[in-house]
């Protein structure tokens, strides 16, 4: 009977010990997961409850964006909200505060999208804070086109279009 009691008590002690060990392991895993998620939040500024891998979307590469913007009209129009502010040297009034609608912008920008086919057109990109200015121009000609893009949610959107052709 003493042996049976010892076996029962021993079994209970072993079970309790295993339960405590499992709880410690579970707690340890929870702490590790929480630490990983916390580090992820600090590094990326975002929280993904499904996994602790980097969640934050990367900023869209501007050169890749321009390539797609000029070659894919569906993509292009997804990144423009009309009416669009800008400048139009051909406007009879409000040249400085010109507002482009889609149809007029289509007409003027058509040649811009094929700038690579004209060896006289130069293109330059400059940054001004959170704005990227993409300029198409011909030296000493009066032809000077300016696109201003701004990041919104890590994606580039056209915010301003200037057409100068004197």
Q: Model confidence over 89-113: pLDDT tens digits?
A: 999 999 999 999 999 999 999 999 9
- Does 54 score more than 50 pLDDT? no
Determine the average pLDDT of the residues in 44-63.
62
Closest by CA position to 97, among listed 87, 82, 83: 87
- Does 55 score more than 50 pLDDT? no
The kind and range of the H/E element at 126 are strand 122-128
Burial code (b: 16+ CB inside 10 Å, e: under 16) for 90-120 equals ebeeeeeebebeeebbeebbeebeebeeeee
Instruction: Tell me what pLDDT residue 39 has.
Output: 43
Instruction: Tell me what pLDDT residue 57 has.
Output: 79
Angle at Cα 49 formed by Cα 155 and Cα 150, nearest 5°? Answer: 10
* Gap between the terminal Cα atoms of the chain: 110
Rounded CA separation 2/163 (Å): 100
Instruction: Tell me what pLDDT residue 40 has.
Output: 44
Determine the average pLDDT of the residues in 137-159.
96
> Is 88 in a helix, a strand, or coil?
strand
Domain range annotation of the chain? 1-54, 62-165
The kind and range of the H/E element at 116 are none
The more confident residue out of 52 and 19 is 19
What CATH number does domain 62-165 carry, 2.40.50.140, 3.40.50.10490, 3.40.1190.20, 3.10.450.410? 3.10.450.410
Give residue 142's pLDDT band: very low, low, confident or very high (50, 70, 90): very high
Q: What is the pTM of this model?
A: 0.66
Rounded CA separation 77/66 (Å): 13
């Amino acid at each position: 009977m003493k042996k049976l009691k010892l076996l029962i008590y021993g079994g209970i002690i072993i079970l309790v010990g295993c339960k405590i060990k499992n709880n410690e392991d579970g707690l340890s895993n929870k702490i590790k997961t929480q630490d990983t998620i916390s580090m992820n939040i600090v590094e990326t500024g975002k929280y993904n409850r499904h996994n602790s891998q980097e969640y934050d979307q990367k900023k869209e590469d501007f050169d890749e964006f321009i390539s797609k913007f000029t070659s894919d009209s569906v993509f292009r129009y997804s990144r423009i909200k009309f009416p669009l502010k800008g400048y139009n040297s051909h406007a009879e009034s409000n040249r400085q505060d010109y507002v482009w609608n889609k149809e007029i912008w289509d007409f003027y920008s058509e040649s811009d999208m094929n700038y690579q086919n004209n060896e006289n057109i130069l293109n330059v990109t400059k940054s001004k804070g959170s704005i990227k200015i993409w300029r198409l121009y011909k030296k000493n000609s009066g032809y000077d086109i300016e696109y201003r893009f701004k990041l919104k949610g890590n994606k580039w959107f056209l915010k301003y279009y200037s057409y100068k052709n004197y």
